Amino acid sequence: MGDCLFSSVSMLLPLSKEHSSQRLRDLAIATMEKEPQFQDLVYDEGSLHAHLDKLKQPYTWGDTPEIAAMALGLNRTIQVYLPVGEIQSHPSKDGTNDHKGPLRLAYIDRNHYQPLFEKDHTPLETGPKQDWVRTDDDDDVE
Whole-angstrom distance, CA of residue 64 vs CA of residue 68? 6
pLDDT greater than 60 at residue 136: no
pLDDT greater than 80 at residue 138: no
Nearest to 127 by CA among 71, 87, 95: 87
User: What kind of fold does domain 4-115 have according to CATH?
Assistant: Cathepsin B; Chain A (3.90.70)
Domain ranges of the chain: 4-115
Q: What is the mean pLDDT of residues 29-43?
A: 91
Please write the tens of the pLDDT for every residue from 39-51.
888 888 888 999 9
What number of H helices and E strands is found in the chain? 4, 4
Please write the tens of the pLDDT for every residue from 93-135.
888 887 788 999 999 988 899 999 877 666 655 444 444 333 3
Whole-angstrom distance, CA of residue 114 vs CA of residue 5? 7
The maximal CA–CA distance of the chain, rounded, in angstroms, is: 45
Residue percentage of the chain with pLDDT more than 90: 51
